[in-house]
Chain A
């Protein structure tokens, strides 16, 4: 048994070296009492794998801030099946939950992963499932386990299988639109340009992205199909063409045009190409975001002198101011449950990410970093990703909506910014 354990640890340490992602996670703050969980190294009798599956599950759960994985070196045994489980071994370690997994090869060259979740205190199996994938889907299998475990324990759907897009800049010379897993792994280049790329955003079905590119010498809004790379330029007006935001049904984009003199919010019906003007005011109106019912938008406006968040009802054109605390509130996004506004808030001259309860108006600052911007909420509403500066470099960071959990994803290369968290798809 011991020799077996050492062998697994050796393989694990080799794998950790191989599976280097461009963005690596540094947890800066966790919950006070995260749930202890033991993720036993996956049982597998085949040749060395390209990914450390149980290590990915552990990292996912740790990053959520809700769990404290038990170190493998502390484990007294590595059970392969339910029959091998001695609950006492896990109670001694203080572990409340136990995850077992076993990988096998499918006839088509893919993988099949069986996994089980046990409640150590009540000595019960609470989950048993199987997930399959192709030869290059080991990370997806791992994230599927994390999602199921997270949901079984917290009651909240996991978001480990989701993705993000973001902009990476190399000085003023080169700009890239990148896609990666939610943990920063498996980076993929979507677009490279010598001109700025801005404001990337997912379509609600997760199949397309929209963004602003300056490749024509002026800002213009494009959409791009992720599977094929096919692109379409959607706007080409004089002045600003910016801040695209997909409607919840995916049929429209809210966006900003200044063709009539100053920045105004418009909607674009994508199929017909028809633009409808939403706001009409001599001040700056920008950064539209859809409310969940698709019937109104939030937007940033300095019509009151300083930038604040407003809400406009599309059918009536009625406008209501939502933020009153502080002299700079901008770029709001609404949480998936529709109850919370997330935005950039200036406090004592420093830019932070803040939430505002829509019903009560209560504002709370979530971040302590400086120059925080571009918050994007995970589809389960548990965490948000934002852009900040760390040691003079643009990086991505994340914070839970209750501010209890914080982590950073520093980039080894360029300045990383404008994260957009994918929907479930």
Chain B
């Protein structure tokens, strides 16, 4: 879906973000949990390369939500904990895209999609991931994963995608 130009600029942004992460460790002294994350970042970036990122186990990148809910399921928490470990070991920019099912008004669903994306972001940050590497975008009901107007389609559409 991404153009090669965009991919290149994303890669560049990723490298720059990783560098920014390093420099902030040396200059700031924040609260303990954030500090742990920063330290972890600094230690691994020295040796990390694209190789180590490719060797990481493949994790689910889509997290589903209940009707009108923005709380994470136990499964989502477990998977996100593993994502957080990977992101701390090999920091990269991630984009969290929040989605809803088609029920309800479109702009209200934009807000619900954002609430879901932020629930995932907050969990990752709590696990020590650098919040500046996480971007959240809501698509509301505009990009359904499944086109139907039934419960099974709806349950696939209420989601956050980690990219």
A interface residues with partner B (beta carbon < 8 Å): 171-172, 196, 198-199, 214, 217-219, 238-240, 242-243, 256, 258, 262-263, 284, 286-287, 300, 307, 328, 330-331, 344, 346, 351, 370-371, 373-374, 389, 392, 418
A-B contact pairs, 19 of them (CB 8 A): A171-B147, A196-B143, A214-B139, A214-B142, A219-B110, A239-B136, A256-B107, A258-B111, A258-B114, A286-B107, A286-B108, A286-B111, A287-B108, A300-B107, A331-B108, A346-B104, A351-B103, A392-B148, A418-B106
Task: Given A172-B144, A218-B137, A219-B138, answer yes or no on A392-B149 (Cβ-Cβ < 8 Å).
Answer: yes
**Which A residues are in CB contact (< 8 Å) with B104?**
307, 328, 330, 344, 346, 351, 373
B149 touches A199 (CB 8 A): no
Apart from A240-B111, A286-B107, A331-B108, what 16 extra A-B contacts exist at CB < 8 Å? A196-B139, A196-B142, A198-B110, A198-B142, A214-B139, A217-B137, A219-B138, A258-B114, A284-B115, A286-B111, A287-B107, A300-B108, A370-B149, A373-B105, A373-B106, A374-B105
Counting chain B residues whose Cβ lies within 8 A of the other chain, the interface size class is 20 to 34
Distance in angstroms from B111 CB to nearest chain A CB is: 4
Distance in angstroms from A247 CB to nearest chain B CB is: 18
Distance in angstroms from B56 CB to nearest chain A CB is: 25
B139 touches A199 (CB 8 A): no
With an 8 A cutoff between CB atoms, is B90 at the interface?
no
Our pick among B103, B105, B142, B149 for the contact of A300 (Cβ within 8 Å) is B105
Interface string of B48-62 (1 = CB under 8 A from A): 000000000000000
**Which A residues are in CB contact (< 8 Å) with B138?**
219, 239-240
Q: Which residue of B lies closest to A330 (CB)?
A: B105
Q: Which residue of A lies closest to B107 (CB)?
A: A243
- Rounded to whole angstroms, the CA-CA distance of A217 and B3 in the bound complex is 12
B108 touches A389 (CB 8 A): no
With an 8 A cutoff between CB atoms, is B42 at the interface?
no
With an 8 A cutoff between CB atoms, is B112 at the interface?
yes
**Which B residues are in CB contact (< 8 Å) with A196?**
139, 142-143
- Rounded to whole angstroms, the CA-CA distance of A171 and B108 in the bound complex is 21
With an 8 A cutoff between CB atoms, is B102 at the interface?
yes
A389 touches B107 (CB 8 A): no
- Rounded to whole angstroms, the CA-CA distance of A351 and B112 in the bound complex is 17
Distance in angstroms from B101 CB to nearest chain A CB is: 10
- Rounded to whole angstroms, the CA-CA distance of A307 and B111 in the bound complex is 11
**Which A residues are in CB contact (< 8 Å) with B149?**
370-371, 389, 392
Distance in angstroms from A280 CB to nearest chain B CB is: 16
B110 touches A371 (CB 8 A): no
**Which A residues are in CB contact (< 8 Å) with B140?**
198
- Rounded to whole angstroms, the CA-CA distance of A351 and B105 in the bound complex is 9
Q: Which 7 A-B pairs have the closest CB atoms?
A: A196-B142, A284-B111, A331-B105, A243-B107, A330-B105, A263-B111, A287-B107
